[in-house]
Structure 1
Amino acid sequence: MKIQHKINLFMFIILMLLSASIVAVGYMVISSIVYNLSREIFTQRVQHVKKELQETYDILNSSGVSSIEGYVQIAQQEFLDKVSTYKQGETGYFYILDKATNIVLHPHFQRGSTFELPIANTMLQQKEGEAEYIYQEEKFYCVFTYFPEWDWLIVLKISEREMFAERKRYLIFVVTASIIITLIALLLLHFYTRAISQRIMMTLTCLKQIEQGNMKARITAIHDDEIGMIQASINSMVEMLAANEKLKAENVRMSAELSVAHQLQQMLLPKEGELTGINELEISGFMHPAEETGGDYYDVLEHDGHIIVGIGDVTGHGLESSVVMIMVQTAVRTLLTSGITDTEVFLRILNRTIHDNIKRMNSDKNLTFLLLDYQQNGLFKFSGQHEEILFIRDGGQIERFDTIDLGFPIGIETDINSFISHIKVELQQGEGVVLYTDGITEARNKSKQQYSVERLCAIISAHWHQSASAITQAVINDLKNHTGDCKLSDDITLVVLKKN
């Protein structure tokens, strides 16, 4: 096969793949545009209906008859009659449910009957938003909002089949345009490769003459372009390309590993529902890695009357630190599930486990680690070496406690039993504890000034009358104001606990 034919075949395959990619991307883009445009339109329509309902309610209220059932029922019925005429395409319509998922308005079901689809409860919980569900083997999309004065859930629903009807016409246009462009490109490619192949054949003829010993053979310079430079630089270019591709593949692999590790980290963090489910304490946590993955750790676990809070800081950051952090999280949860709640025994076993794993990894990583054990008697027990513990007393007064004598960095020595100690602190209602990593206190601004423990204490004290989550947000906002555009050089973690 001639090189021209090979080039034509190769470029034909490339163009086909490119065309397929264009069609695929076009399909996704069109779907996204249609979806977002429809969502915006539906949201505006639902909000418009809610506004009309609010106006009806305000009229009743201003007239002083909002408490007279007869007037309210008449006003409601007039509003429902008007909304029942609102349509969206062929399959779209409004329906209204009350807080018990009973039907207030529906074109196909009797008023007062129960709306059987489980999606109703989800919408009532969310109050406002959008949802998708399947009914009678057909997929529907809906936008909903809640009118609290009458406890009505207003829903605009339409089938996704109708919603994306225009997508098919646009897709045909994209496919047709891609085919035409591909044919034109192939035609132009044919003439271009023909000219190029003639020059290549001229070069090959010259090379054969040199191979046969004709050292006087020369390539006639027809064009002043890069082809004349290819012969002298092809080997170096190939080597450079090979090195670049290898580096690119390595970067892609490392990026994928970091991405997976980052996802694992985020999945293992305590969820909001877990924290709010703890009645004895109000807890808020925040963690942000300096890179895609970090070495900071915190977790909140509840087991058999104990509330265990752990916080740690693995040396360095990146994939290896993230792996150590994940190992710590798994080990802590395993020990707690196994019924080990004594903090000193806990730390001794944890250290041995992490030490052996780090040794197997042939790594020099280690971490500071502090363990908090709270029981329903109001007593906090602390063990482990980490940053200072901040005790916040009534009125926002802060006591700082150095943990240097409560433990030893995890993973350095096989046995740290002789270093482990503990303290017990009793806190009253409204008092609490703040734990953090040095990524917060050592964060620098453009002037190389650190954020400092003193500034952290000042912000906590000033906002202690607020909720734990509000205190956390206040610290993070102040930290961002301090660092400005400066990139964080270390992971930051903050845990705020207030005794209810």
Structure 2
Amino acid sequence: MEQEGAGTEQPARRSRKAGRRARKSNGNGRDAAGSSPRLRDVLFKDLRPTDLPSNFRQDLKRLYRFYLDEERRTQLAAMGRVRRTFKLLGWLLKSLLAKLSPGRRLALFASLVMCFLGQVHLNLPDGDKLETDLRFWGFLILLLVLMLELMEKVAARDEIEIARQVQLALLPRTHPQPGGWSLWSFMQPANDVGADLVDYIELPGGRLGVVLGDVAGKGLGAALLTAKLQATLRALSLDCPSLSDLGAQLNSILHRDGIDNRFATMFYCEIDTATGRLRFLNAGHNPPFVLRASAIETLEASAIPLGMMAGTIYKEGDLLLQPGDALVVYSDGLTEARNAADEEFGAERLRALLPRLRGLTAEHAVGLLIDQVTAFLGGERPHDDLSLVVLARPGGAAGPIPPPFVIPAARPA
């Protein structure tokens, strides 16, 4: 009995000590009274020291691309090292100031001047001398500008998170698998919200619509236009007599209601699961690949992207997928993915991978391609939304296959 009592007393003491520790800290640097987290906990929260070098390099690349346009980057590449350094600093500073509001622009410039002047000596009218270190005041002004910018960013983040949740709700929750077909897709936004569209549309007569679209630009504005394109396509595709008419109506609506320099590329196809025939519309999108038993074909765009020019004529294409064939549709975020050496993944690298997809289901084919892109990036963050759709018709070797052809659209009278 004594041994049993002694044995239970030690765990009891340990339990009381654990309770005091738990009350002292609730696991994220706050004590039970709800006081502020310790500075050490704030500084080192979610910190992975091994990731710091790669994260720092990626942040520098993102800053470089954000503050300098393609023309500036091309000019810098042609300069010598010394001249390039001074030009880079000057252009970065001007671009930074241009992106701030007028008040903060002046405040930041004043803080930089103060930091440059440092300690100053002023002769007062009564003969006294005033010495002050302007770097301290410059630092305070710089901190104030940073706090204001961070405040707006955090406030905008909440709105973007809501938009992200709405966008996720609009994505397909399942991948339809019609009898004799295999279908899978992948979509990875480069930012919190994406501008790529991947959707499946159930149509009358047992047909299935599949779309991959890419709206120009990034951020919340592009995401809203993507949602508009999705809603418009879903409404029009149910009873449109031809895909030529569908393209014309989509183009008219996006051109009428769109914003300058905002357009959308789109590849849309409708599958007749019984016959294996597809009718498709390529509005300025990257040419999808058709993987045959012994060949690889491409489906070129029939016209410019949607919303660019009123009255554009689009053409409907027709395609037959035999057992063993596959259709691979992708966004430019896949082929334009860049690694640390600033090399593009490229359409040719994608094409070279396609023979490895023969005999795979669409899910495994998508997984293989995404794994290859991820390995190519080597930890680099994609700078554009990355989307992929694979439609496969599993089966044996294909026989003679008619080539895809395009049905000319009827010109308006």
Q: TM over 0.5, yes or no?
A: yes
* Alignment map for 1:260-275 (pairs within 5 Å): 260-272=162-174, 275=175
Q: Quote the residue 1:469 is aligned against.
A: 363
Instruction: Tell me whether 1:329 sits opposite 2:223 in the alignment.
Output: no
By how many angstroms is 1:236 displaced?
A: 7.6
Same amino acid, percent of matched pairs? 24
| CA distance, structure 1, for counterparts of residue 336 and residue 34 of structure 2 | 61
- TM-fit CA distance, 1:295: 1.6
Return the letter of the residue paired with 2:229: V
Measure, in 1, the Cα distance between the counterparts of 2:34 and 2:299. Answer: 74
Paired residue secondary structure (1:494): strand
Aligned alpha-carbon RMSD (Å): 3.4
Q: Is the 8 A contact 1:459 1:474 kept in 2?
A: no
> 2:237 aligns to what SS in structure 1?
helix
Q: Distance in 1 between matches of 2:288 and 2:182?
A: 17
How far off its partner does 1:450 sit? Answer: 2.0
1:378 maps to which of 260, 263, 276: 276
Give the one of 264, 287, 291 matched to 1:367: 264
CA distance in 1, matches of 2:376, 2:198: 24
| AA at the equivalent of 2:335 | T
Higher RCO (C-alpha under 8 Å, 6+ residues apart): 2
C-alpha spacing 1:170/1:253, structure 2 compared with 1 (3 Å): same
Aligned counterpart, 1:344: 244
Structure 1: distance between partners of 2:156 and 2:257: 22
Matches within 5 A, 1:381-396: 381-383=279-281, 384-394=283-293
Unaligned runs of 5+ in 2: 1-15, 26-30, 37-124, 395-413
Residues paired across the two proteins, number: 281
Residues of 1 paired with 2:369 and 2:35: CA distance? 56
Q: 1:410 aligns with which of 290, 297, 306?
A: 306
The amino acid across from 2:310 in the alignment is T
Aligned to 1:325, the other structure's residue is in SS state helix
Tell me if 1:287 matches 2:187.
Answer: yes
**Larger Cα-atom Rg:** 1
Q: Which amino acid aligns with 2:276?
A: G
Kindly tell me: are residues 464 and 271 of structure 1, through their superposed partners in 2, closer, same or farther at Cα, counting changes over 3 Å?
farther
1:302-313 matches, within 5 Å, as 302-304=202-204, 305-313=206-214
User: Residue type matched to 2:293 in 1?
Assistant: D
Within-5 A mapping of 1:10-21: none
Helix, strand or coil at the partner of 1:308: strand
Shift of residue 251 of structure 1?
Answer: 0.7
Q: Which amino acid aligns with 2:280?
A: F
Q: Say if 2:177 and 2:183, in contact at 8 Å, map to a contact too.
A: no
User: 1: CA distance between counterparts of 2:186 and 2:35?
Assistant: 52
**Within 2, Cα distance between the matches of 1:278 and 1:497?**
11
Bigger shift: residues 377-386 or 471-480: 377-386
Residue type matched to 1:270 in 2?
Answer: P
Q: Counterpart of 1:300?
A: 200
Asked if 1:479 is matched to 2:373, the reply is yes
| Counterparts in 2 of 1:179 and 1:447: CA distance versus 1, 3 Å | closer
Residue aligned with 1:309, SS: strand
5+ unaligned residues in a row in structure 1: which ranges?
1-165, 183-214, 217-227
Q: What is the CA-CA distance between 1:463 and the residue it aligns to?
A: 2.4
Alpha-carbon shift at residue 171 of structure 1 (Å): 10
| 1:192-341 mapped onto 2 (5 Å cutoff) | 243-272=145-174, 275-304=175-204, 305-337=206-238, 339-340=239-240
What is the CA-CA distance between 1:475 and the residue it aligns to?
0.5
Does the residue aligned with 2:199 lie in a helix, a strand or coil?
Answer: strand
SS in 2 for 1:285: strand
Distance, in Å, in 1 between the alignment partners of 2:319 and 2:351 is: 19
Q: 1:237: how far off?
A: 8.2
1:496 aligns with 2:394: no
Deviations 1:25-50 (A, max 9, x none): xxxxxxxxxxxxxxxxxxxxxxxxxx
SS of 1:425's equivalent in the other structure is: strand
* Residue of structure 2 aligned with 1:423, choices 317, 321, 331: 317
More divergent stretch after superposition (345-354 vs 431-440): 345-354
1:358 paired with 2:254, answer: no
Q: Is the 8 A contact 2:211 2:269 kept in 1?
A: yes
Question: Structure 2: which amino acid aligns with 1:407?
Answer: A
Which residue type is aligned with residue 469 of structure 1? E
Cα deviation, 1:426-478, whole Å, max 9, x if unaligned, reads: 11122121101111112222333321222212222112211111110100111
For residue 327 of structure 1, what is the amino acid of its counterpart?
A: K
Q: Which amino acid aligns with 1:366?
A: F
Q: Using a 3 Å threshold, how does the CA distance of structure 1 residues 174 and 310 change in structure 2: closer, same or farther?
A: same
Q: Are the counterparts in 1 of residues 280 and 316 from structure 2 also a CA contact under 8 Å?
A: yes
Distance 1:458 1:380, change over 3 A: same
Shift of 1:355: 2.0
Seen in structure 2, the aligned counterparts of structure 1 residues 446 and 352 have a Cα distance that, compared at 3 Å, is same
Q: Is the 8 A contact 1:430 1:499 kept in 2?
A: yes
1:296 partner letter: D
Amino acid at match of 1:377: T
Partners of 1:239 and 1:439 lie apart in 2 by 40
8 A contact 2:196–2:213 mirrored in 1: yes
**TM-score (norm. length: structure 1):** 0.50
1:127-146 matches, cutoff 5 A: none
- TM-superposition CA deviations, 1:79-130 (whole Å, max 9, x none): xxxxxxxxxxxxxxxxxxxxxxxxxxxxxxxxxxxxxxxxxxxxxxxxxxxx
The answer on whether the counterparts of 1:306 and 1:341 sit within 8 Å (CA) in structure 2 is no
